[in-house]
A = this chain, B = another copy of it.
């Protein structure tokens, strides 16, 4: 409906206390079909989502589409980074929301906001997003922690889910909307999260640390050594 659905005029942003995260079909076989961005970025972004859910205590539900077949196994890093996540096996339904156990698991979280990522984007991410909107949830679709076969397919899907009332997000925006402030004890862990989203951030941390060490230790420039 081209407005953020189910917000009823309230600010369309994530409330960490009322959100759950759904990570759908991030599987080794399906990853080979990704063409809208390097699949390794999708992998890193999905892992970042799992990690930030853990940092915030967000419920996480995972599932996979027939992992015994060509779609391949769920990538292991997701549960490694979100050990509290619940895995729901489906029975062949393409739309995870068509699987009653999956919907039940979502309901069991008691949360009214869903952060959803899935491969492939137009199916595994979009179908549950549209269905969840219809069931009254506030839905945030993490488009770049999902992957699909072409940039054009991604753009079409972005248009479709926005039309359906889903709020589109990139992975960095999800992180920052959950983190809220650097004035917190786990700030260093959040900095690590960002290194998975924009890898240049790791270089910044390394260079910054070295520059301060040089100053602290009075280390001379190599070019000024005797």
Q: How many copies does the complex hold?
A: 8
Q: What 1/0 mask marks residues of chain A from 151 to 191 whose CB sits below 8 Å from any chain B CB?
A: 11111111110111001111111001101111110010001
Q: How large is the interface on A (under 10, 10 to 19, 20 to 34, 35 or more residues)?
A: 35 or more
Contact of B72 with A203 in the complex, beta carbons under 8 Å? yes
**Chain B contacts of A184 at CB under 8 A?**
92
**Chain B contacts of A155 at CB under 8 A?**
155, 158
Contact of B212 with A180 in the complex, beta carbons under 8 Å? no
Query: Which of A32, A134, A158, A177 is most buried by chain B, counting CB atoms within 10 A of its CB?
Result: A32
Contact of A94 with B179 in the complex, beta carbons under 8 Å? yes
Chain A residues in contact with chain B, CB under 8 A? 1-4, 11-13, 28-29, 31-33, 35-41, 64-73, 75, 89-95, 98, 120, 122-123, 126-127, 130-131, 134, 143-144, 148-160, 162-164, 167-173, 176-177, 179-184, 187, 191, 197-212, 214-216, 219-225
